[in-house]
Structure 1
Amino acid sequence: MTSDTGLPARYEIRTLAGPEHAKWACAIITHCSFFASPVFSKIYTQGRNQLCYAMFQTALYQMSHQVESGLSLGIFDTEYQLKRPESAETDGKLYWDPTDLNKNTSGQDLLEQMDFPLVSVALAYDNFFPLDKTKLQPLFEAFPLLPLRNRAAERRELRNSADWQATGPGQVLLRGGTATKVGEEGRGFMKKLSWYMMRKAAAEGFRGIQIGCLHDAVSAVWQRPPAPFTSEVVVRFTCAEDDDEELRACFQGSDQEFTRIYVTL
Structure 2
Amino acid sequence: MTSNSRFQVRPLLPEHIPWARVIITHSNIFHSPVWPILYPTDLTCRAYAFFTASEKLMTLNTLTGLSYGLFDTQYTFKHPSSIPTGGKLHWDLTNTAATPQELLHQMDFPLVSIAMAHDAAEPRRDGSEWKEVIDILPRLATLFGEVEKNDERDEGIWKPKVMGEVIYRGGTSTRADYEGLGCAKMLAHACMREWKGRGYRGMQVGVAHPAVVRIFTEGLPQGMRGSVVARLDTRGYEEVDAEGGRVRPFEVVHRWSPPWSKPLHWRSSLMVMGMPPIPSSQIMRSAHQG
Per the normalisation by structure 1, the TM-score is: 0.90
State the alpha-carbon separation in 1 of the partners of residues 104 and 89 from structure 2: 10
Q: What is the aligned counterpart of 2:154 among 157, 160, 179?
A: 160
Which residue is 1:188 aligned to?
182
Which residue is 1:139 aligned to?
133
Q: What is the aligned counterpart of 1:45 among 40, 44, 57?
A: 40
Shift of 1:249: 4.8
Shift of 1:226: 2.6
Output the aligned Cα RMSD. 1.9
Shift of 1:76: 0.7
Q: What is the aligned counterpart of 1:127 among 97, 120, 124?
A: 120
Q: Is the 8 A contact 1:173 1:208 kept in 2?
A: yes
> For 1:57-96, what aligned pairs fall within 5 Å after superposition?
57-96=52-91
More relative contact order in 1 or in 2 (CA 8 Å, sep 6+)? Answer: 1
Q: What is the aligned counterpart of 1:263 among 247, 256, 270?
A: 270
Cα 1:254–1:248, aligned 2, differ >3 Å: closer, same or farther? farther
Cα 1:96–1:172, aligned 2, differ >3 Å: closer, same or farther? same
SS state at 1:218 partner: helix
State the alpha-carbon separation in 2 of the partners of residues 204 and 239 from structure 1: 36
Q: What is the aligned counterpart of 1:176 among 167, 170, 175?
A: 170
Larger C-alpha radius of gyration, 1 or 2?
2
Q: Is the 8 A contact 1:96 1:113 kept in 2?
A: yes
State the alpha-carbon separation in 2 of the partners of residues 164 and 43 from structure 1: 30
Cα 1:37–1:135, aligned 2, differ >3 Å: closer, same or farther? closer
Q: Does 1:211 align with 2:205?
A: yes
Q: Does 1:31 align with 2:10?
A: no
Runs (5+) with no aligned partner, structure 1? none
Q: Deviations over 1:143-200 (max 9, x none)?
A: 2101111111122121221133222222111001111111111111111111111111
Q: Deviations over 1:32-75 (max 9, x none)?
A: 11222211132233211111111111122111111111111111
Runs (5+) with no aligned partner, structure 2? 255-260, 273-290
Which residue is 1:254 aligned to?
253
Which residue is 1:243 aligned to?
238
Which amino acid in structure 2 is aligned with residue 72 of structure 1? S
- What count of residue pairs does the alignment treat as equivalent? 258
State the alpha-carbon separation in 1 of the partners of residues 128 and 183 from structure 2: 33
Q: Does 1:117 align with 2:110?
A: yes
Cα 1:80–1:248, aligned 2, differ >3 Å: closer, same or farther? farther
Shift of 1:131: 3.2
Cα 1:4–1:253, aligned 2, differ >3 Å: closer, same or farther? same
Identity %: 33
